[in-house]
Amino acid sequence: MSAQAPVAPAPVEGAAPAATFEPVIIGFTCNWCSYRAADLAGTARTKYPPNVRLIRLMCSGRLDPTFVLKAFAEGADAVLVTGCHPGECHYIEQNYKALRRFQLLQRTIEALGIEPGRFQLVWASAAEGVRLANEIARVTEEVRALGPLNWPAGDIVDIDGVDLDAAWEATGGDAGEPPETPGGVNPDHAAAKLPAAEAAR
């Protein structure tokens, strides 16, 4: 919850030692600036760590907060949002909207127990291949230091088509006793079941 994330990752059952922890990072790029910066980094053979996996959106303004929560729920250790520099948006001003959403979502994510360092925003113009590569390297190192995202790993692998509300009620619903929460999950997080559950569609 705190911004001061533990430098050493909490020991996770069966997890590799911190030294060899390789995070998986989802990076959202915009079609006009940052995706092109990634292309340029490629053309110029600028090296960066292979931990980031990029998704192309037309604009950073397209970034639905659900996408970020989905990435965390699916096992990403961090999410990187990239776009054109403020004032240089291909769609005039939509990256400002992305910036607003980013700041709100940053707080939501912190409330969900995710260190803010796992959700970062980087501007890169189409000409800044090297800058983007450097930022990816920086974020990778920071996330490596944070360790794996310590949301509890579970075995619910197929909830498609399951009526979660009914299942919830079947367990006694909100009136039930708070259960043991493995993995140090804050019981407050029960309140967050909706976004996460929806994200996991």
Partner 1 sequence: MTAEHSHLPAGNASSAGLPAEGDIRIGVYVCHCGSNIAGVVDVAEVARWAAENLRDQGVVVARDYKFMCSSPGQELVTDDIKNLGLNRIVVAACSPHLHENTFRTATARAGLNPYLCELVSIREQDSWVHTDKAAATVKAKAILAGGVERVRRNEPLSPMTVDINPATLVVGGGIAGISATLELADAGFKVYLVEKDASIGGHMAQFDKTFPTLDCAACILTPKMVTAGTHPNVDLLTWSEVEKVEGYVGNFTVTVRKKARYVKEDLCNGCGVCQEKCPKKVLDEVFEAGLGYRKAIYTPFAQAVPRTPVIDRPNCTYFEKGTCKACEKFCETNAIDFTQEDTVLTLEVGNIIIATGYDLFDARKMTQYGYGRLPNVFTSLEFERLSNSAGPTNGAVVLRDGVTEPKSVAIVHCVGSRDRNHNNYCSAICCMQSLKFAHLVKEHTEATIYDFYIDMRTAGKGYDEFYQRILEEGGIFVRGKPAEITDVARTPDEEGKLIIQVEDTLVGQQRRFPVDMVILSSGLEPRADAKELAVRFGISCSFDGWAIEKHPKLDPVATMTEGVFVAGCVSGPKDIPASVAQGAAAAARVLGRIQMKKMNLEPIKATVHAEHCSGCRICNTMCPYNAISFDDVKGVSSINVAMCQGCGTCVAACPAGAISGTGFSDEQVLAQIEGLLRIGADGTPLKRTAYPVAHREEIEEAVRA
Per the CB < 8 A criterion, the answer to whether 58 and 47 are in contact is: no
Tokens 């909490």 belong to which residue? 10
Which distant-in-sequence residues (6+ apart) come within 8 Å of 144 by Cβ?
Answer: 21, 22, 23
Count, residues near partner 1 per rule CB under 8 A: 93
**Chain-centroid distance, C-alpha 152:** 15
- DSSP 8-state symbol, 151: S
Q: Which of 78, 133, 139, 143 binds partner 1 (CB under 8 A)?
A: 133
Cβ–Cβ contacts within 10 Å for residue 139, how many? 24
Residues 158-177 that bind partner 1 (CB under 8 A): 158-159, 162, 164, 166-168, 170-172, 176
- Answer yes or no whether residue 87 interacts with partner 1 by CB under 8 A: yes
Contact flag: residue 187 with partner 1 (CB under 8 A): yes
Residues 137-156 that bind partner 1 (CB under 8 A): 149, 151-156
Q: Which stretch binds partner 1 (CB under 8 A): 1-9, 86-94, 102-110, 115-123?
A: 86-94
Shortest Å, Cβ 11 to partner 1:
16
Taking residues 5 to 44 in sequence order and writing x for each that binds partner 1 by CB under 8 A, - otherwise, the string is: -----------------xxx-x-----xx-xx-xx-xxx-
Distance CA 72, CA 198 (A): 13
Least distance to partner 1, CB of residue 103, Å: 15
Q: How far apart are CA 154 and CA 198, in angstroms?
A: 16
Residue of 118, 121, 128, 143 interacting with partner 1 (CB under 8 A): 128
**Taking the complex as a whole, how short is the minimal distance between the CB of residue 4 and partner 1, in angstroms?**
21
Chain centroid, CA 160 distance in Å: 22
